[in-house]
Amino acid sequence: AQSVSQHNHHVILSEAASLELGCNYSYGGTVNLFWYVQYPGQHLQLLLKYFSGDPLVKGIKGFEAEFIKSKFSFNLRKPSVQWSDTAEYFCAVRTPYGGSQGNLIFGKGTKLSVKP
């Protein structure tokens, strides 16, 4: 079965530090990749997505992610985090299996705490 692994459960950084959150998936075919973010008390919202083309994608709030097909990875990065980036981050993969938009498989999430 397809799966998504997020390497870190909880990451603690100081403001201005650089961020990289790991995400690996297990599926050998074409995938669509997403990062979602859940700020405290808010609903999940899309940070960025990759479907095809340039493997380096840019999202909202200065986040970017790089798709490396050979490594089955889609890591999230931000050069300089802010206190307002404190949130939980979810990597998600949609495969063609089931042929459905709804068949989005999520990782278990990484909590990011940014110290002011």
Residues that bind other proteins (CB under 8 A): 32, 34, 36, 42-46, 49, 51, 90, 94, 98-109
The nearest distance, CB 17 to other proteins, in angstroms, is 25
The nearest distance, CB 8 to other proteins, in angstroms, is 14
C-alpha to C-alpha distance for 98 and 100, rounded to whole angstroms: 5
Strands (E), 51-95: 56-58, 64-68, 73-78, 87-94
The total number of residues written for the chain in this structure: 116
The nearest distance, CB 73 to other proteins, in angstroms, is 19
Q: Which helix or strand (DSSP H or E) is residue 50 part of?
A: strand 45-50
Q: Which is nearer to other proteins, 2 or 86 (CB)?
A: 2
